[in-house]
Structure 1
Amino acid sequence: MSQPDLQDVIASLLTNAASPLTTTEIAAAIAKKRIWHRPSDNQFPTPSQISARVNNYGHLFERIDGRIVLKTSANEVDRLFRLTWNTTGWQFPIKHKWRKANQGNSNIAFENQYGFGGEEWLFNPRYIIDGYQYGFIRGVSDLATDVILVPKAWLFSLNQETKERFLVGQINDLEVIKAKPDIMRIAEKLYRHHFEDVKVELHDVDADENGLDNYGLLPNVRFRLTGEELFEVMLPAPALDGHQYNRFLPYIVDDELQLLIDGVLPEDDFVFNPGVARNSGGHQRVTSPSVRVIQRIHSDISTALEQYLRPQFARSNKNISIEKTRFGDNIADVVLIHHAKEITILEIKTSGLARKNIREALGQLLDYGCWYSGLKIKKLIIVAPSFLSVRETAYFQRVKNVLDIPIGYWQYLPNAVKGQPEFEEII
């Protein structure tokens, strides 16, 4: 039987504990609950092993007065969830091999006990209300009771026939609704309203509908649909092979797992990532005063741009991306999405010399705009505090005509009179 990683077990215990724990207390709790053992000798972990694992995962844990605490709250941890295998885009159930003799055996996947899994309706449009998709994810049931949001939920699935694993999508801001009575009432009403439809669909794939009664498969999550949750094709994920990622658990996406996921994601598919990066604003630790000044100017321009582009482009509309959308290995300063694959890219420069800003930004903008096939570029815009002289304006127009591309130049006006725009769209 496979088991979760030790760091996941430690994190779960700390999340549910009323106070920080010592390594001895953590080891005792694991032994008492019999929730993890060493694969090498089947023994429970010792306090020294707990201490070593805590040291190896410094981004998750810290020590305060000799006790272990979570460095980040549970609501700030991305997760990886396994979904029941499905080939309909998780809208309707498919046929699975199952046997009645398997029922009740926790070591066997639910789909092989009853012929279906709770996630098979996760993206069924009949469970959409007020822009929210309601659904069930088995791994969410094992989250700590105070977890109400998963910032990013990566989704993978296992083909039972070939045993291949695939990364199939990601959900941003996945809401855990089991502790929200008002939302749960909506979810239950939706579930009951379509209950007979579900039974018919299970009958069509020769599944055992008794699984609905024996296990609570009411929706336990909801999320705002953006249309980009599921990848266009399932991405083979051999990095997830083996027993480590075999169960329907809420795996913590630590640095190591994120590297595995990043290695699966293709570089030749454009993915618009809305929102503002956490480290946007130049908060990286630097020692050079000149670099700090550049970062501060860059941050000021970025913040002002977000204000200037409202209300047409806003975080709530999920059509603006500030330092979050990649073009290959590079991240653009600002990306606006107009339609499915029509975008505007803005590159921020901070020099007081317009020609220098144009020379540096233009290469980056062309790189971003041409990196992926199938993208329609509405405009490429250079944003900088430098004014364009008559000569520089003529130069910019010649560049624009020679390249025959939609490029523009916006000047940042930090001392604009109150009520006046902070940007002048010169070209």
Structure 2
Amino acid sequence: MEKGSYVAENRFGHEEWLFNHECLVDGHRVGFIQAISKSRRKLAGQDIEILLYTKNPDGLWCKVGRIASAIVLTETEATEVVKKLSNANILQAMGADLERLKISGDKIRDALATNIVNIRFYPKDCEVLDPPEPFKEQKLFSKTYPRYLSYKVDSTDKFLELIKPPAARCSSTNQKKVDQRLRRSVPATTQDPKHDRLQNTIHTLLKTNFPDVDYEKNWIDLSVKIEDIQFIFEVKAASSVKRCIREALGQLLEYAHYPNHNEKLYLVVAGDAVALPDDRLYISFLRETYNLKLYYACYDWNDRKLNFYPLINHFADS
């Protein structure tokens, strides 16, 4: 179990919202990366490509995502972004996420702006590797590459050199605690307040446009009837469309057909991850191969609307 880190001591990391599609400011997704934080003053203002990696529960060092183009924020820019997050009630929602897990929301609400956001990027430039891809040279990591630091990499994802933070360090106003304490990381929880917000938001949008909308009826997240067509929605807050489909499709098929029903329902996986070209190919393949009336509906937090793939014109079949 991890010891001595911010996550182990506080039971969360500021990176928790990196793939939260709600965190949009002026069309950019904003977030925090600890490794960038340590080198932020050196990288501020630069447009960089980011390879995200971590150590998985099995002890393997893995690539988990890429951001093709990200701007590292200056302190002034980070302060302005946090103001906009607060004005949009997103900062308050982040605090509420913590409070649902019995963690003080003040840990995020009162944090320095540069500890809440330090990068911005367009959602289209972000790719989540699913499943994560283990590095070939596993032995190098434990000896050569400490966590939470930034490194330059080449075109083959080979680590080249450490991006060293500035040598200067500000004086602390607090002395270190000297009492002994045990630090343990906290097991993951299945509670997901973001899912609830996404479900509620899509429900409100449907209710605004259609009179016949059900919420949690027969355990189905959302369902709406348009003329003679019944759509059922399974909402997922996963960071990629592929993962949303993986988590939702079995539930949708069960709701529509278990134990042997042949209901003509249109199946909608709803999330806020943007559908990439491979995701669209996958959805088309599933529809054609299994004759499924399957759709992916992406909620755009910026435009406040649902974007369907394949396109639904007034909720009619494409």
Radius of gyration: which is bigger? 1
Q: Is this a same-fold pair by TM over 0.5?
A: no
Q: TM-score range by the shorter chain?
A: 0.3 to 0.5
Q: What is the TM-score of this pair, normalised by structure 1?
A: 0.33
Greater RCO, 1 or 2 (C-alpha within 8 Å, sep 6+): 2
